[in-house]
Each structure stands twice: as structure tokens, then as C-alpha cells.
Structure 1
Amino acid sequence: MEQGSGEYFVRIGVGSPPTSQYMVVDSGSDIVWVQCKPCSQCYPQSDPLFDPTISASFSGVSCSSAACDRLAAETSSTSNSAASASCRDSDRCRYEVSYGDGSYTKGTLALETLTFHDSAVVHDVAIGCGHSNKGMFVGAAGLLGLGGGSMSFVGQLGGQAGGAFSYCLVSRRSGSGSGSGKLEFGRGAMPVGATWIPLVRNPRAPSFYYVGLSGLGVGGVRVPVPEDLFRLTELGDGGVVMDTGTAVTRLPGPAYAALRDAFVAQAGDLPRTGSGVSIFDTCYNLNGFVSVRVPTVSFYFSEGPVLTLPANNFLIPVDDGGTFCLAFAASASRLSIIGNVQQQGIQISFDGANGFAGFGPNVC
């Protein structure tokens, strides 16, 4: 698994013979899809477009198929993505997925063979063959959905994986020659010695992996934030989601402001810049510094565990001139998202069948 511009990629062989493609790893959505020929609208990607006509294992899905029925049954909308199936003009099952940032993919549903590491072969995976696609996927050919729904890759593995997978996102500052991250599926991927917390189920957004967050900490001290800001309501609003497809952690406005103010107060010796950068409003000019001491940032989970982040996971470089910013931002809604910047370097595991998420014990 490798890093892109804000996303993490996995190299997958699509079809027979396998055509290698970079796919975005996204635990916040379900549908697996790849850009396909012929393409009426495609964004630039680093690999040649996948051509289904030269794959011996590519099989279009009919409207009466179980896969099309499953996609239609799961048609739902969350703050992150919305998926739908239709059969307007032919017997072929058509799909459409739109994402919260305005990206989308449209095309036909098919069954195809996916190959991992040149040896692990999974047959008859329902994938979207995207003929009209738009988004900031920066070179990736498509997306590997790892959400909690039955149409995700994990869901389609069924008993082979038992709803379980584990990953370790390599740190962005580890250097290009330091190796790749790791993505593993199945019960055997569940680590011994991890710290486990219960997953919180939201019937209105079954694709998301919700966790119970009770508070935030800076410098080992809890920030005065009401726990209700992180609570999932009976109507399915709010809550806290862990998502590899989102880069920066988003918090409800009052929670973010409290975290930022506590960090600024404890990092008073660091020189702040006169303005923010992009979505970041708290930045520092660290040009010329060999090392700096910064307060820690921690997540306090509802069942007791505390996850304290390394500095690389919350103070990140945004240019080549020594500008570093606090890598959190205010959410436009009550939903909180723990993004991949905060997850990097930490082994993360999901045991969907038993309803737990795990941290550690390994690092990457």
C-alpha cells in the first residue's frame, strides 16, 4: 500500500490476465470501481485505462442478477457517498456513486477477477466499470471500497474474511524509500495485543465504521469539550467515523475550536504564521529548526482507551519553506471523521463481525 496526494493506494491486478491498477483505499464507502474503456469522461490516471474487452474473466451483470439487486437494496445516502443502481436503457445493471467532495463515477456493474500481490486471486468480485468519472483521485484508476456494507470488497469476501481486515498506513514523512504500508484481510489479520474498542452501529449509514469518542486531550490534559458533541443521535446524525479516504480529521466547530485553543496555548513558544493555509487556520514557521517540542494530542474513547498521536500525525508540513500546520479542521456538520493523517503509522484493525476496532500493537 502506497500514499498518494491525501489518499493511500493499493496495487491490484484487474481482470484476466491481470492489468495492474492503483486503487484508492477507502474504508468510508462500499463500491469497488475502476475507470474503463470506452470512457466518455475520465480523469488522468497513471496506468492505462482498463479495457474489459481483453479480460477473459469480465462478465457484465444483468438487471435480474443478485449483485444488481444487492446494490439496489443498499441504495443509500450518507455525508460521504451515495450509491444507486438502475436499468433504464438496457438489461445491463448500471451504477452511479457520488461522493461528498463532488467526485462521482457512473458505468456498468460487472463481475471480475482481482489479484493481490501476484498470487492472492479473488474471483467474481462485483465492480463498477466506470465510463464517466470525475474527481481528485490523483493518478488512481479507481477505488477499493472497504466499508461495512455487503457490496464492499470486505463484504463480498464474506466468510473468507469474516468482516475482518487490518491496515497500516505508512507515514507521509517516512520518505519514499522506506517501504509501503500493509493491508490484510481475514481473521488471521487480527493482531494479538491490540487495544480494542466497540464499533457503534448506525443503521442509516451502514458503510461507516463509527467509534465512541468521549473527548480530546492536549499535552496529557483533557480539553473541555462536551461528550454530546461526539454522540451519534437516534436519528443517525453526528457520531465519529474512522475513514482512510479522508485525509484530515474533521471535528464539530466547538470541539475543533477547543482543541486548537488548547494547542496554541501549550505551544506558545513556537512562532506562528500570520495566516492559515488552505483549510488550516493554525500554522507555524519552523524554518531553521532542527527539532521542536510540541504538546501531544490524544483521542479519549468511550470505553476508556486513550490513543496519543505522534507529532507527525497532527503537525504536518504544507510547503517546502518550513510551514507546519495543525492537521485538524472544523466540520460543516455534527459528523466527526478521524482521517488518514491521524491514522498513519498505527496498525488499525476492524472486526466487523464482532463489532470492534483495534489500535496497534504494531507501527509502520
Structure 2
Amino acid sequence: MPMAPPPLLPLSALLLLLAAASHASAKPVQTQALLATPLSPDRVSAPSELARDDDSNVFAAAEDAAASTVRFRVVHRDDFSKNATAAELLAYRLERDEKRAARLSAAAGAANGTRRGGGGVVAPVVSGLAQGSGEYFTKIGVGTPATPALMVLDTGSDVVWLQCAPCRRCYEQSGQVFDPRRSRSYGAVGCAAPLCRRLDSGGCDLRRSACLYQVTYGDGSVTAGDFATETLSPGGFSLFDTCYDLSGRKVVKVPTVSMHFAGGAEAALPPENYLIPVDSKGTFCFAFAGTDGGVSIIGNIQQQGFRVVFDGDGQRVAFVPKGC
């Protein structure tokens, strides 16, 4: 499935960020060289060795029959994703990462005694002044994968709506416009569906057999469009909310990102561990995301190439660069 196109910033914006950071800090900003290789547009096939049924291809016992060691051949799960593009594989990984992060946040919240009760939903509330509105908004994610959006906290309406692509006669909005064609969880509501008949002011597009809604507000403004069901996620933090167009460039200098730990320890990340390609056009995005529950997660992209050492007796964790 093609991924939703992220908002792009020109390379000059990255350089401006670098210059601003250099001006604000007494230390010169460290930079690294990033190989700007985009994702391949070609579809990948499962390796031919996966098709063989030979047990020796799966595991091999040690030559010494008395030994208790068994050697297993490790196969990446992407090898089983036949006829998938690199962008589709990335979308699958992000979906799995989102679920793992939710489980870790929930477990950390339970351990800290901050588990949410009653099936409630917690999401940040922000002022709409930056959007030219006196109302309050909450950040949500719409669809799968999630597109970030700001939703007005309007308790007087029973229909939640947003602008969708392709958008006709729509107002100019800040942020990305939701594209239902790129969401795996979007579901159109048919004209004969019970949900459609519950609308106060509904209609039907007979050509598409699609349910239509219309809401009129007290100030005379009107919104109308397709009525559908979709997955909403609280928080609405987009993993790829900061992206750059590096098309046509082979090598780019980028600021070094480091993890700082208590006691002064520091681990500098290679550029490919935080600025990754997301399509075949040369779009690169920062691979960072927020979490709920007050827990910080060092993701698998950041851990690439590091050997992680666990010192159980000393209650310490070590990160050894270029250890893999």
C-alpha cells in the first residue's frame, strides 16, 4: 500500500535549523554525511531458498551428536512478504512499531500506577490561537497509517468531519489533508446502512451508492460530504512530521543527533538511524515519535548497528556503536 505523502521541507530548512542550533550553542554543531539513497520502487520477491522444504535449510544440528548446541538460520520476516514494495514494507513495520510502543507505554503506566481506567481516552488539549481560532483543539491521528489532525472539541455536534483529498471548494488548512485512499481502515457507509439513516440531514449519491452528510452551524456555515467510518488514535503524533526533499542529492551533511544519559554518558547516532527514506522520490524524514505514559522508548531504528549490553548485577545498560 502506498504511504501517505509527508509534508516536505526544502533542504535549506535543514540548513537553517543547523545554523540556528549553531548560533544558540557555544559548541560548534557536529555534522555527518548521509547517503541520500531513496527506497527502491521495485517489488521484492521472497528468496528462492525459502521455497525449499529441506529441513537442513531451517536448522542444522552440531556435528558432534553428543553436543547440545543447535544452530538456527535466522530469516527476516520481510523475506516472507512476497511482491511488496519497500514503501509497503516500511508501512507494515511502522504499524507493528506503533502496537509495540502502545504495549510498552501501557505496561510502564501499569507499573507506575498510572493505568487508565474505565476505557477512557487521554489526549493533549491545545489552544486554537495559533490557528486563528478561540476554540480548543486536541491532536488525533486519522486512519491507518495515521494522518495527524487537529480536532475542535465541539460537544454540541454528533458528527466529526475533516477535509479529505481530493478536496474541492475547501478552505486552506495548516497541515496535511487526509487522503482516504491511502488508509487501510477507511470504510465508506452505504445509503441503506442503518448508520446513514440515523443522520438528521443525510443524503445519497446514487451513482456511488454512498451516504452523504450535511451539518449547518449557528453562524450559517455548512459542511457536507461523504459519510464514513474511520479509525481515530488519541495524541495524533505523526512519526514523519518533519521531512525533507533530498531528491537529486547523493550525499548530504546533517546535524549529529546524540542520546544523553544521566552521569554524562552519550551515544551519537549514525545519520541513517534518525533520518530515513520513506519513498522512492528522495523524501527523508526524522524517525522520532512521542509516547504516552511518561516513558521514553529507544526505537529499533535508533538501535541499528549498536550492540546493547545488559549488566544485571550493576543495573546498567550499555550501547556499543558499530558492534553489529
Question: What TM-score, normalized by structure 1, do the two folds share?
Answer: 0.29
Relative contact order (C-alpha < 8 Å, sep 6+): which is higher? Answer: 2
More strand by share: 1
* Bigger helix fraction: 2
